[in-house]
Amino acid sequence: MTATATPPASVDLHAPVVAGVLAALVGFTATFAIILQGLAAVGADASTAAGALLVLCLVQGALAVGLGLRSRKPITMAWSTPGAALLIGAGTQGADFGIAVAAFALTAVLIVATGLARPLGRAVAAIPMPLANAMLAGILAGICLAPAQAVVRFPLQAIPPILAWLVALRLARRYAVVIALAMLVAVLCLVPPVTGAAAPASLPVLTWPHLVMPHWNTAAVLGLAVPLYLVTMASQNLPGLAVMRANGYEIDPGRSFVATGLGSVVTALFGGIPVNLAALTAALCAGPEAGADASRRWIASVVSGVVYIALGLGAGLAARLLLVAPPLLIEAIAGLALLPALAAALTGAMAEEASRLPALVTLLVVLSGITVAGIGAPLWGLLAGGAVMVVLSAGTRTRTAR
């Protein structure tokens, strides 16, 4: 007998590998500055913040590798960027970082408790697919705009990889994103962009995690932990589950929340914010750009985890060096890669006439980028679309009864 499955698998390996690398690079470069700023706002010094960034990379990388290998599904991790933004808004001069660490730990415990309770998982499973697809499309649309934005801000660096991608679509479609990424690296080596940014002088090149003792102050800890928990669940974990479901993957919310909650306990001990399910980078790893064979896309999440670990080992150095490559340029390559996923999500959202209007409302609210009560646009989009769907369904039932 002759095995015929091995050659195709090896040929298709590049797609999930490239998707995983891009997911980690986009997730890191686009948001690490927000993490450092958020931690500084609640009292962390530069060395402690860089050490926390290292631990965040290691923990979420290990979770992505472990959950991907165990489940054989592209479960991708991220840190709570909305949570970091919340810290920036809540931070005060001279803040006691130990209080923030206690809040991080309490948030992690609440996430674990949510995973053990289960009702949230049932609520996510009940999200209608047209609304899930519309929310996914709204999330993807933002980064799919990055190529056009990059052309305006960094024309010398952005135009060559986009042209290379376009030519590759005609001559070597499977490798179009790889060729675009290689072209970007070459262009950055030849023509580094002038951004005017510089790494903080106090940011260490080589860093090491620092164990931080929590300090308990009931009012201060609850005042930070409760909104941090709500933001992490509403703006990261729920959209992350919906993105996975929109791409055809059913995962156990309870186990995912327990895993990320326990990981967040570890990051909290070293001054890190919670880790959670990814949404945007999950779409990159779980969508068709991670390979035509959906059963092998878990490789993308595992690769993203390995890259995160590598980035974390040089967190201080990466924070300096990646300023040479503005996040928008990395996002532009990811935007090119996500165009097929955006097309598929839009098709799924608008396929059924009965749910087209609710899906459109969801899409528009997500695209608005609003944040209300610390909760981001993805959840508000689902709620708005769901409300329209309920009203329309009630109207249909009334007319049928007559």
pLDDT, residue 317, reads 64
Q: How crowded is residue 109: how many other Cβ atoms within 10 Å of its Cβ? A: 16
pLDDT, residue 149, reads 93
Q: Which residue has the higher pLDDT, 327 or 300?
A: 300
Angle at which helices 253-269 and 46-71 cross, to 10°: 150
CA distance 228 to 222: 10
pLDDT, residue 125, reads 60
> What is the mean predicted confidence (pLDDT) over 265-274?
95
Contact 74, 290 (CB under 8 A): yes
| Distances 339 to 152, 209, 289 between C-alpha atoms, Å | 19, 38, 9
Contact 306, 21 (CB under 8 A): no
From the list 6, 107, 86, the residue with the least C-alpha distance to 39 is: 86
**Angle, CA 261 vertex, CA 319 and CA 299 arms, to 5°:** 65
Contact 281, 23 (CB under 8 A): yes
Q: How much is the pTM?
A: 0.72
Burial class (CB in 10 A: 0-12, 13-18, 19+), 205: middle
Residue recorded with tokens 């960034």: 53
**pLDDT tens figures, 149-195:** 999 999 999 999 999 999 998 888 777 877 888 898 888 888 877 65
Q: Compute φ and ψ for 201, nearest 5 degrees.
A: -60, -30
Q: Which residue has the higher pLDDT, 178 or 367?
A: 367
The H-or-E segment that residue 275 falls in is: strand 275-277
Tokens of 71: 């489940």
CA distance 77 to 311: 14
pLDDT, residue 127, reads 73
Report how far Cα 48 is from the mean position of its chain's Cα atoms: 24
pLDDT, residue 120, reads 63
Per-residue exposure over 327-345, b if at least 16 CB sit within 10 Å of its own CB, e if not: bbbbbbbbbbbbeebbebb
**pLDDT tens figures, 77-133:** 999 877 887 787 665 545 689 999 999 999 999 999 888 887 765 665 677 888 878
β partners of residue 276:
78
Q: Compute φ and ψ for 72, nearest 5 degrees.
A: 55, 35
Mean pLDDT over each residue of the chain, to the nearest integer: 82
Alpha helices in 42-128 (DSSP H): 46-71, 81-90, 97-117, 119-125
| Distances 220 to 38, 54, 124 between C-alpha atoms, Å | 16, 26, 31
pLDDT, residue 305, reads 95
**pLDDT tens figures, 3-57:** 444 444 444 688 899 889 988 988 887 677 678 778 888 888 878 888 899 999 9
Contact 377, 369 (CB under 8 A): yes
Tokens of 48: 């402690």
